[in-house]
């Protein structure tokens, strides 16, 4: 019997949207998978031959790109930041909707004109996407890499501006920041390791099940 197909799923905020989607695709995980207190990292499903792993959002791309997992669910923000050629992203799953934006303190925004920037210092978890975004219009971006709580950076003088994910806008508002530019709209994608896609025939119908699960949700 061949090795199980492993699907990497991010813990954190996407997990609650991913579980119903997995179920619609016919992949029913064991109960511990949805329990954020469980310390297990690998989980069986009701489908023999399909296991799930629960990893950090950025690590989903790494596991799948290196073939340690064959499929994964990952935000387009993460895909853009890594730009792994080994990843094929055939399905927009329609979950994890947000946007990647530039933000700064409201007081700075009142007298600021983004068209006049030539050099910016930015705190972000997305240094590559940020640098590419600004480079495209001739602005040099000096990035300070953070892994979370970017909103603190302007308040504490680490960097006057941030690039971070925005959904409701509540995090920005509660930290005195305003959005000044949208870099990209974000949603989660199904990703597949390209080599596995060619060598594991079970993957094609599995991708199709995800496609149908998304279509069902759109039609509902
Ligand atoms: N506010 C949001 N609204 C909708 N989707 C979001 C939001 N924030 C993040 N996401 C999506 O969820 C993914 C994971 O985000 P999350 O905030 O759970 O990661 P994290 O807590 O920073 O991860 P980790 O702790 O593993 O580094 C992001 O890559 C993005 O695609
Ligand atoms: O516009 P909002 O609806 O307030 O959402 C935006 C927040 O969501 C994300 O963080 P998350 O809450 O996932 O935690 P993190 O700081 O651990 O990344 C993001 O980094 C923002 O901080």
Average of per-residue pLDDT across 117-132: 97
Residue 120 structural domain: 98-186
Domain co-membership, 68 together with 17: yes
The larger pLDDT score, comparing residue 99 to residue 13, is at 99
pLDDT of residue 1: 67
Q: How many domains are there within the chain? A: 2
What are residue 101's DSSP bridge partners? 164, 182
Domain co-membership, 22 together with 125: no
Domain co-membership, 177 together with 211: no
End-to-end CA distance of the chain: 38
Domain co-membership, 116 together with 139: yes
Specify the ligand 2 atom closest to the Cα of 151. Answer: 22
Side-chain-facing half-sphere of 159: CA atoms under 13 Å: 20
Domain co-membership, 32 together with 89: yes
Q: Which helix (H) or strand (E) holds 187?
A: none
Token output for 219: 């039609």
**In which residue are the tokens 């947000």 written?**
98
Domain co-membership, 74 together with 18: yes
**Number of helical (H) and strand (E) elements in the chain, helices listed first:** 9, 11
| 13 CA from centroid of ligand 1 (Å) | 6
Strands 119-124 and 161-166: parallel
Side-chain-facing half-sphere of 174: CA atoms under 13 Å: 7
pLDDT at residue 35 greater than cutoff 90? no
Q: Which CATH number do you get for residue 158? A: 3.40.190.10
Please work out whether the CB of residue 175 comes within 6 Å of at least one atom of ligand 2: no
Side-chain-facing half-sphere of 6: CA atoms under 13 Å: 17
Domain co-membership, 113 together with 161: yes
Domain co-membership, 40 together with 83: yes
pLDDT at residue 146 greater than cutoff 80? yes
Contacts of 169 (CB under 8 A, 6+ apart): 179
Nearest CA to ligand 2 atom 20: 165
Q: Which of 115, 96, 102 is nearest to 177 (CA)?
A: 102
CA distances 216 to 27, 130, 182, 220, Å, are 15, 35, 30, 6
pTM exceeds 0.90: yes
pLDDT at residue 219 greater than cutoff 90? no
Domain co-membership, 30 together with 84: yes
For residue range 169-208, what is the model confidence (pLDDT) as tens digits? Answer: 999 999 999 999 999 999 999 999 999 999 999 999 999 9
Please work out whether the CB of residue 57 comes within 6 Å of at least one atom of ligand 1: yes
Domain co-membership, 213 together with 169: no
Domain co-membership, 207 together with 157: no
Nearest CA to ligand 2 atom 9: 165
Please work out whether the CB of residue 167 comes within 6 Å of at least one atom of ligand 1: yes
pLDDT at residue 122 greater than cutoff 70? yes
Domain co-membership, 28 together with 63: yes
């Amino acid at each position: 019997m061949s090795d199980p197909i492993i699907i990497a799923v991010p813990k954190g905020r996407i997990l609650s949207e991913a579980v119903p989607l997995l179920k619609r695709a016919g992949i029913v995980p064991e109960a511990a998978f949805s329990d954020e207190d469980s310390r297990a990292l690998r989980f069986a499903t009701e489908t023999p031959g399909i296991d799930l792993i629960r990893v950090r959002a950025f690590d989903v791309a790494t596991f799948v790109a290196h073939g340690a997992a064959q499929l994964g669910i990952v935000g387009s923000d993460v895909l853009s930041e890594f730009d792994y050629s080994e990843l094929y992203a055939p399905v927009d799953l329609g979950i994890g909707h947000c946007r990647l934006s530039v933000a700064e303190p409201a007081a700075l925004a009142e007298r600021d004109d983004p068209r006049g920037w030539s050099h910016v210092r930015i705190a972000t978890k997305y240094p590559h996407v940020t640098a590419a975004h600004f480079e495209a219009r001739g602005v040099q971006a000096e990035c300070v890499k953070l892994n979370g709580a970017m909103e603190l950076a302007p308040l504490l003088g680490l960097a006057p501006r941030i690039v971070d994910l925005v959904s409701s806008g509540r995090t920005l508002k509660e930290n005195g920041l305003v959005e000044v530019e949208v870099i990209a709209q974000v949603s989660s994608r199904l990703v597949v390791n390209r080599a596995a896609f060619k060598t594991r025939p079970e993957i094609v119908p599995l991708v199709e099940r995800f496609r149908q699960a998304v279509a069902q949700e759109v039609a509902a």
